[in-house]
Amino acid sequence: MLSRSHPKPPRTGRPRSAAADEAILEATRASLVDLGWSKLTMSDVATRAGVAKTTLYRRWAGKNELVVDAVAVLFDELELPDLGSLSADVQAVVLQFAALLERPETRTALMAVVAESTRDEALRTRIRDSIVDRQKRLVLQGRRRAQERGELPVEQDEDAASTTADLIFDVIAGAVVHRVLVSAEPVDADWARRFTALLLTGLGAAASA
Amino acid sequence: MLSRSHPKPPRTGRPRSAAADEAILEATRASLVDLGWSKLTMSDVATRAGVAKTTLYRRWAGKNELVVDAVAVLFDELELPDLGSLSADVQAVVLQFAALLERPETRTALMAVVAESTRDEALRTRIRDSIVDRQKRLVLQGRRRAQERGELPVEQDEDAASTTADLIFDVIAGAVVHRVLVSAEPVDADWARRFTALLLTGLGAAASA
Amino acid sequence: MLSRSHPKPPRTGRPRSAAADEAILEATRASLVDLGWSKLTMSDVATRAGVAKTTLYRRWAGKNELVVDAVAVLFDELELPDLGSLSADVQAVVLQFAALLERPETRTALMAVVAESTRDEALRTRIRDSIVDRQKRLVLQGRRRAQERGELPVEQDEDAASTTADLIFDVIAGAVVHRVLVSAEPVDADWARRFTALLLTGLGAAASA
Amino acid sequence: MLSRSHPKPPRTGRPRSAAADEAILEATRASLVDLGWSKLTMSDVATRAGVAKTTLYRRWAGKNELVVDAVAVLFDELELPDLGSLSADVQAVVLQFAALLERPETRTALMAVVAESTRDEALRTRIRDSIVDRQKRLVLQGRRRAQERGELPVEQDEDAASTTADLIFDVIAGAVVHRVLVSAEPVDADWARRFTALLLTGLGAAASA
DNA sequence: CCGTAAGCGAGACGGTACGTCCCGTCTTGAC
DNA sequence: GTCAAGACGGGACGTACCGTCTCGCTTACGG
């Protein structure tokens, strides 16, 4: 669960309903599925959640922030399986990620909030903190495991390692997102295999350089 | 200029103003810069263009279509320079593309229309036709030129060649978009060099396999 | 019909629907009857009139102004009958006025807008122009007729005549309103007779002094 | 102080704060002055009184009841002076009453609660008990004093006397209220003199008839 | 002198109406 | 038949109060 940081928890007054929070996020996802981002309204979410509109606005500044929180949790389902080789692990994650992007709630929401974030610095930060940066763990975890297996050398220069991890992350995430949402072509086992081969070969060569 | 297909040009009555078309698209871009996608309104565009709202709706079905046409032309500015090597050419295009995505009108519009397109098949087609598929010419042109230079072998299997081109396109476009719009990190000469190295190495290995 | 003064009638664009105006005022009166002033809402009026809320706000600044216009027309129904004597005429008008105040739409609306007008100069002016001052005609007409009959002397001092007319108006209107809306006692023929006797005797003595 | 009737005083638990009552009524009057009837809110009154909203609702059913209690006490300040003649006494009360109605808290509140009372029988009763009927004492006191002075005959018929008192009350209260709140003209010594003359002459004639 | 029951400030709750904004359509008269 | 202008029915917005409901206290009485 994302902590929306109540830095000074108020001590008086009726406490906020914890149940409402989850009901609202669930209702938001349902509304995304049924209506999509652009037709989703705060009123509709409130109605579905059995909650007053004011309760929504008391907790979230607007549609953008609400949707980010609603879908963020879905991304935490991604995990790196241990299939014995880096290539197999990457292919599996690629397929998982593509499957997540095919779900109607993420499909319609992700690009929309990214689009909004281009004019809203706070929203961009929220997206990065809640969604994007969290998934870098997969890259780091994959590298560590590959190094343990001896598939990749242990890097000495930490800065370079971090820069490379960022590059890999942009390539994987970008390519899969583009394939699914822009090209609208399927990410199947074959594509995953071909893409992973390209990535790992390029990466290996870069590492040895 | 994109043809918005007037298959049967109307023969009677006052003809449509040709000047209005360009004024509207220019006004749309200006509105995107000033207001961003989500705050852009048809009324605002009409006012900026000195045109009535009815005139907009006579030509475009809605905001989505209008914005696609308004920004599509910007993507046609991309071109593959001839710098003597495939690597240099790719790096140059990557930098061009990133610069285009940094412009406020494309920055705010591109992801937004892609998001809308996830629930609107016609819009997705329009985006592909007007924007995405047009840029595949750059990939094809780059490959042809590399083959002429002997940097890449001439492929026999046309299907495989096409599939590979699609993959490359998704990787390049996806990675750059993700870097600029999601990670919000700069695409500078260094990143372009590193990314291109990864791509071309991976590609070379894949081709020889 | 009250003219809401379109000082510079716009020459372009779709003209405002004249039918909507009357439908809205009628709906307002109906809503006053059903709900009373304090529960009347702009949305309800719009719905009853088959009109969008925006159409209401395009024509009236708010509930107060709308209700003033809606009930003003009812007050124009009052008229001074010619029953042969000033006393009979006054009694008849008193009964008419009381009957008007018994109607639910005026009953609930009149005091409410007067109350609002105590903090809104523009509203007070509107009420005076649309409702109150219009009824002074009854006092003036009554005096003229009584003078023609020889029941009252023709006054020479116009200022004094006007001041007296104002006094009479405040006494009649005030007493009837207070009886009906505050004391909530019936204004029947007996009360009208007694009140008229008090008024005319007092008035006659004042005139001869 | 108005008794708000605690018919069965609760015997256990913490007793209600007596100080809070007066603070709330005072805050209500202050809020009436600053905001007027229609903008006065329970929350605002609670804040001004340094009290929780629940405390208000524990004591009063709503805004109407609260305001009636808050202004009722002001009307008890009216008193009939003994200036030696009925006419002088009446003029003095008229001026007192007008001054009371000029105060912003009564000005905005009185008509508003009367308006509300047209649809709320309990409220009408409360207003009559707390405000209106209390002031009839002034009429009765004035008559008694005038009878003692020999200015008015002692009436035999008690019913008729009561009916006449009601009529006088409606005429005085109605005329002054109408002059101040509707006509929005000043009630000065001259107006009071002229009005009193009209009233007493008419009354004298009626009595002798 | 202690338990208990009501009162208390605070503030979240489900609602309703507000007045504004934009949507996409329709209705004018001018060209 | 298109144009600029602008009114139209509709619907969502985000805000403000409503009157109610928890909360964790405080405060007085009665055992």
Q: CA-nearest residue of chain C to D36?
A: C119
Across A170-182, average pLDDT: 97
Whether nucleic acid strand F comes within 7 Å of the CB of D42, the answer is yes
* Amino acid D9: pLDDT: 53
Q: How far is CA C157 from CA C73, C154, C162, D189, D191, in A?
A: 33, 9, 9, 21, 17
Q: Are A86 and A197 in contact (CB under 8 A)?
A: no
Q: Using the beta-carbon criterion (under 8 Å), do D206 and C198 form an inter-chain contact?
A: yes
Give the model's confidence band at A121: pLDDT under 50 very low, under 70 low, under 90 confident, else very high.
very high
CA dist B114 and A109 (Å) reads 11
CA dist B100 and B104 (Å) reads 9
Q: Using the beta-carbon criterion (under 8 Å), do B194 and A163 form an inter-chain contact?
A: yes
Question: Quick check: D202 contacting C, CB < 8 Å?
Answer: yes
Residues in C 38-77 with any Cβ partner in D closer than 8 A: 38
Q: Which of residues 41-100 of A touch strand E (CB under 7 A)?
A: 50-55, 58-59
Residue nearest to nucleotide E22 (CA to C1'): B41
Q: Using the beta-carbon criterion (under 8 Å), do A132 and B194 form an inter-chain contact?
A: no
Give the bases of strand F that a protein CB approaches within 7 Å. Answer: 1-24, 26-30
* Amino acid C30: pLDDT: 98
* Amino acid D37: pLDDT: 97
CA dist C22 and C50 (Å) reads 12
Q: Are D101 and D110 in contact (CB under 8 A)?
A: yes
Q: How far is CA D135 from CA A186, B147, D76, D77, D166, in A?
A: 86, 107, 8, 10, 11
Contacts of D192 (CB under 8 A, 6+ apart): D91, D94, D95, D98
Across B67-85, average pLDDT: 96
pLDDT surpasses 80 at B193: yes
Backbone CA torsion sign across A162, A166, A171, A177: positive
Question: Quick check: A208 contacting B, CB < 8 Å?
Answer: no
Using the CB atoms, write b or e for C123-151: b if 16+ within 10 Å: bbebbeebbbeebbebbeebbebbeeeeb
Give the model's confidence band at D206: pLDDT under 50 very low, under 70 low, under 90 confident, else very high.
low
Instruction: Per residue of chain C (209 residues), give pLDDT as tens.
Output: 444 444 455 578 899 999 999 999 999 999 999 999 999 999 999 999 999 999 999 999 999 999 999 999 999 999 999 999 999 999 999 999 999 999 999 999 999 999 999 999 999 999 999 999 999 999 999 999 999 999 999 988 999 999 999 999 999 999 999 999 999 999 999 999 999 999 999 987 666 65
CA dist A68 and A110 (Å) reads 8
Give the minimum alpha-carbon distance from A189 to chain B in angstroms, rounded to a whole number.
14
Each residue of B115-145: pLDDT tens digit?
A: 999 999 999 999 999 999 999 999 999 999 9
* Amino acid D6: pLDDT: 42
Q: What is chain B's mean pLDDT, rounded?
A: 90
Across B193-203, average pLDDT: 93
* Amino acid D208: pLDDT: 59
* Amino acid A208: pLDDT: 59
Q: CA-nearest residue of chain D to C206?
A: D198
CA dist B81 and B90 (Å) reads 9
Chain A hits for B163, Cβ within 8 Å? 194
Give the bases of strand E that a protein CB approaches within 7 Å. Answer: 4-29, 31
* Amino acid C40: pLDDT: 98
In the three-class reduction of DSSP (H, G, I as helix; E, B as strand; rest coil), residue D157 is classed as coil
Give the minimum alpha-carbon distance from B46 to chain A in angstroms, rounded to a whole number.
22
Across D58-70, average pLDDT: 97
CA dist D139 and D209 (Å) reads 20
Q: Are D78 and D135 in contact (CB under 8 A)?
A: yes
**DSSP structure class, residue B171:** H
* Amino acid B13: pLDDT: 60
pLDDT surpasses 70 at A116: yes
CA dist B73 and D160 (Å) reads 94
How many separate helices (H) and strands (E) can be counted in chain A? 10, 0
* Amino acid A189: pLDDT: 97
Q: CA B22, B26, B29: angle at the middle one, nearest 5? A: 145
pLDDT surpasses 70 at A192: yes
Chain B hits for A129, Cβ within 8 Å? none
Chain C hits for D209, Cβ within 8 Å? 197
Which chains contact A through at least 3 pairs of Cβ atoms less than 8 Å apart?
B
Q: Which two tokens stand for residue A168?
A: 């890999």
Q: Which residue in the set D111, D119, D202 is minimally distant from C199, CB to CB?
A: D202
* Amino acid C12: pLDDT: 86
* Amino acid A9: pLDDT: 55
Q: Which domains does chain C have, with CATH numbers?
A: 18-59 (1.10.10.60), 72-208 (1.10.357.10)
* Amino acid B7: pLDDT: 41
* Amino acid B9: pLDDT: 47
Give the minimum alpha-carbon distance from B162 to chain A in angstroms, rounded to a whole number.
13
**DSSP structure class, residue A116:** H
Q: Are D105 and D66 in contact (CB under 8 A)?
A: no
Q: Using the beta-carbon criterion (under 8 Å), do B170 and A179 form an inter-chain contact?
A: yes
* Amino acid C39: pLDDT: 97
Chain D hits for C201, Cβ within 8 Å? 201-202, 205-206
DSSP assignment of A133-166? HHHHHHHHHHHHHHHHHTSSPPPS-HHHHHHHHH
In this prediction, what percent of chain D has a pLDDT beyond 90? 86
pLDDT surpasses 50 at B70: yes
CA dist B63 and D101 (Å) reads 58
Each residue of D170-185: pLDDT tens digit?
A: 999 999 999 999 999 9
DSSP assignment of B104-161? HHHHHHHHHHHHHHTT-HHHHHHHIIIIIHHHHHHHHHHHHHHHHHTSSPPPS-HHHH
* Amino acid D101: pLDDT: 98
Q: Which residue in the set C116, C183, C199 is minimally distant from D170, CB to CB?
A: C183
CB atoms inside a 10 Å sphere around CB A11:
6
Q: Which residue in the set D166, D170, D206 is minimally distant from C197, CB to CB?
A: D206
Each residue of B5-49: pLDDT tens digit?
A: 444 444 556 666 677 799 999 999 999 999 999 999 999 999 999
**DSSP structure class, residue C6:** -
**A and B touching (3 or more beta-carbon pairs closer than 8 Å):** yes
Each residue of B103-115: pLDDT tens digit?
A: 999 999 999 999 9
Contacts of B7 (CB under 8 A, 6+ apart): none
* Amino acid C127: pLDDT: 97
Q: How far is CA D209 from CA C95, C197, C201, C204, D202, in A?
A: 23, 10, 11, 15, 11
What are the percentages of helix, strand and coil residues in chain B, rounded to 5? 70, 0, 30
Residue C25 phi, psi dihedral angles, 5° rounding: -65, -40
* Amino acid C133: pLDDT: 94
Q: Are C85 and C15 in contact (CB under 8 A)?
A: no
Q: Which two tokens stand for residue A80?
A: 């790196």
CB atoms inside a 10 Å sphere around CB A154:
10
Across A15-40, average pLDDT: 97
